[in-house]
Amino acid sequence: MIIDGKKEAELLRHEVKKEIDSLKLKNNKVPGLTVILIGDFAPSQIYVKNKEKKAKEVGINSEVVRYPKEVSEQEVLKKIKELNDNNAVSGILVQLPLPSQINKEKIINAINPLKDVDGFHPVNVGNLSSGYHATVPCTPLGCLFLIKKTESNLSGKHAVIIGRSNLNGKPMAQLLLKENCTVTIVHSKTKDLKIECLKADILVAAVGVPNLVKGDWVKKDAIVIDVGINKMGDKIVGDVDFDNVKDKVRAITPVPGGVGPMTIACLLKNTLECFKGR
Ligand code: GUN
């Protein structure tokens, strides 16, 4: 089965829109999302444009604040403070990566955790790992949604996550632990990736290595989630060798059209939840 992330994202966006419409009728207020975009890194420009468009479509008041790549850290911190204090802003997202003069840690720490729609603030990271209520990073949240569409009972399943980033691998592991999976994280220093991947009932690839996961790395009946977005010539490919894996497993997400659309839909959902939580 090929998991249709585009369709699932559309359904989720529809739900978010319905709820925003009804909140608007009741309170005459809608969620506000401000994205800060620094510099001219092409993929970030595309992601942010998509986020803005989809946010507007569901009725979120969406704004993008753009800075040239030379902007000072102080100026960005000042803007974040202003947005923290602005009641019309429910969510703040600083698009990564950041230019080298800007300290990512300082920027993330400056965002009010209640407005941290990315779920990157240490308060949200800590709450998630403690099993408390938290805003969860959009991509792993979208991955979990797609996994659960395929298999509702994850208890006791062996999940293998390739990649240990703060954006994807680590929060993905926390989410799957919460679902009572046995979780293994593998990474660039892991001795035998193939052997570990072959144990997976659920395999999440989030490393940014094109076509890394081969047809003989997967178990029959595995659910394979591909977070990779890699440019190969003028084609976009994932971290999984899709053509050679798809017929060997129970379910797999394509790239594009798998996890990508879910990430944005989850951002809209997180923005709505931040709005409701205040
Ligand atoms: N850059 C790539 N993915 C993301 C994301 O999910 N959030 C932010 N803020 N930046 C990103």
Outline which parts of the chain fall under CATH 3.40.50.720: 138-260
Mean predicted lDDT score pLDDT of the chain: 97
Q: Is the N-terminal amide bond of 99 cis, ω within 30° of 0?
A: no
Q: Please, what is the Cα angle at 140 between 256 and 6, to 5 degrees? A: 35
Calculate how far, in angstroms, residue 39's C-alpha sits from the geometric centre of ligand 1.
14
What is the signed CA dihedral for 266, 269, 271, 273, rounded to 10 degrees? -130
- Ligand 1 pocket, residues with Cβ under 6 angstroms: 93-96, 118, 138-139, 167
pLDDT at site 188: 93
Task: Please tell me the class of the 138-260 domain.
Answer: alpha beta
Question: Cα–Cα distances in Å, from 106 out to 122, 131, 201, 266?
Answer: 11, 25, 38, 25
Mean pLDDT of 229-239: 95
Express each pLDDT in 90-117 by its tens digit. 999 999 999 999 999 999 999 999 999 9
Q: Are strands 202-205 and 158-162 parallel, antiparallel or unpaired?
A: parallel
Q: How far is CA 72 from the centre of its chain?
A: 27
The CATH architecture one would assign to domain 28-112 is 3-Layer(aba) Sandwich (3.40)
**Residue 250 contacts residue 1 (beta carbons within 8 Å):** yes
Question: Is residue 174 flagged as an active site residue?
Answer: no
Q: What contacts 130, CB < 8 A, 6 or more positions away?
A: none
Model confidence at 118: pLDDT above 80? yes
Model confidence at 278: pLDDT above 80? no
Model confidence at 18: pLDDT above 90? yes
Model confidence at 259: pLDDT above 90? yes
Catalytic residue among 95, 174, 201, 241: 95
Model confidence at 54: pLDDT above 80? yes
Outline which parts of the chain fall under CATH 3.40.50.10860: 28-112
pTM over 0.95: yes
Express each pLDDT in 179-232 by its tens digit. 999 999 999 999 999 999 999 999 999 999 999 999 999 999 999 999 999 999
